[in-house]
Chain A
Amino acid sequence: EPEVTQTPSHQVTQMGQEVILRCVPISNHLYFYWYRQILGQKVEFLVSFYNNEISEKSEIFDDQFSVERPDGSNFTLKIRSTKLEDSAMYFCASSVGETSVVETQYFGPGTRLLVL
C-alpha cells in the first residue's frame, strides 16, 4: 500500500540554524500539506501546496518557513532560523487533489524536531 514517507525521523539542531524536513508524498497525489504537533498540544495545520504553489497557510507559517517541491517526488519544509518553540513533531500529508470533492489526507510518520 502506498504511503507517505518522511526523513529524518528525528532531528536535533541548535537555535538559529536552518533545517530542512523532507517528505515523499504518495506518487499520484497532487495536494501536499505540513502540520505540526507541539508536545502535549493539538496537531496544527501549517501549509498546503498545490500546483507548485502555496494554496493556503496558517498564521503559524511566517516568513521563517518555506516549502518547496524541488523535483517530482520530494516535498520539503524549510525553517530558516529555528527557535526553541519550533520544537515539535512535523507531519507531512498528501491527498489526491481532485479539488471538486472532499480530500482525504494521508499522513507520514513525522519528523521529531528538537531545537536546543
Chain B
Amino acid sequence: AQSVTQPDIHITVSEGASLELRCNYSYGATPYLFWYVQSPGQGLQLLLKYFSGDTLVQGIKGFEAEFKRSQSSFNLRKPSVHWSDAAEYFCAVDNSGAGSYQLTFGKGTKLSVIP
C-alpha cells in the first residue's frame, strides 16, 4: 500500500536560516507528489507539485522541492525562512497512477521559527 513518511514531527529554525523538510514515499507506480501548508486556523494550501519532468520544482513563497526516485524522497527546501513560514507542512502522494484520485498524506511537520 502507498504511504508517506515525514520523519520530523517538529522542527525549529531561526529566521533567515535555511530549511529542509523531509518526505519519503512508498509507491509502486510513478508518484505524483505534493506539498501543502496549513497555517493556524487555515486550510491546506498547495505549495508545489511534481508530476513529471524536471526533478526540481519551484513553488509559491520561495519554496522548492526535489524529487529523487533513487531515494524515494521529495524533500521541501527554502534558502531563507521567514517568521510567516511558521506552520504545519504536509507531503502527499496522489494515487492516480493506480486509478485512484485520493491523496495519501504524511503526518505533517510542524515548523517553528525563532525571530
Q: Chain A interface mostly helix, strand, loop or mixed?
A: strand
B42-64 to A contact mask, C-beta < 8 Å, 1/0: 11111001010000000000000
Select the stretch in B19-27, B74-82, B99-107 that faces chain A: B99-107
Nearest chain A CB to B46's CB is how many angstroms away?
A: 7
Cβ–Cβ < 8 Å partners of B67 in chain A = none
Cβ–Cβ < 8 Å partners of A42 in chain B = 105-108
In the bound assembly, the distance between CA atoms of A109 and B36 in angstroms comes to 13
Give the total number of A-B pairs whose CB atoms are below 8 A apart: 57
Cβ–Cβ < 8 Å partners of B105 in chain A = 42-44
Q: Chain B interface mostly helix, strand, loop or mixed?
A: strand
In the bound assembly, the distance between CA atoms of A109 and B19 in angstroms comes to 25
In the bound assembly, the distance between CA atoms of A50 and B112 in angstroms comes to 38
In the bound assembly, the distance between CA atoms of A43 and B51 in angstroms comes to 21
Nearest chain A CB to B103's CB is how many angstroms away?
A: 6
- B-side interface residues, number (CB < 8 Å): 24
Partner of A103, one of B44, B101, B106: B101
Interface hits, A65-116 → B, CB 8 Å: 91, 93, 95, 99, 102-110
Partner of A102, one of B32, B43, B106: B32
B96 interface residue (CB < 8 Å to A): yes
Determine if A4 and B101 form an interchain contact, defined as CB atoms under 8 angstroms apart: no
A18-62 to B contact mask, C-beta < 8 Å, 1/0: 000000000000010101000001111100100000011010000
Q: A91-B43, A91-B44 are in contact. List 18 more A-B contacts (CB 8 A).
A: A4-B43, A6-B43, A31-B101, A35-B103, A42-B107, A43-B44, A43-B92, A45-B102, A48-B102, A58-B102, A95-B101, A102-B94, A103-B101, A104-B49, A105-B103, A107-B45, A107-B46, A109-B41
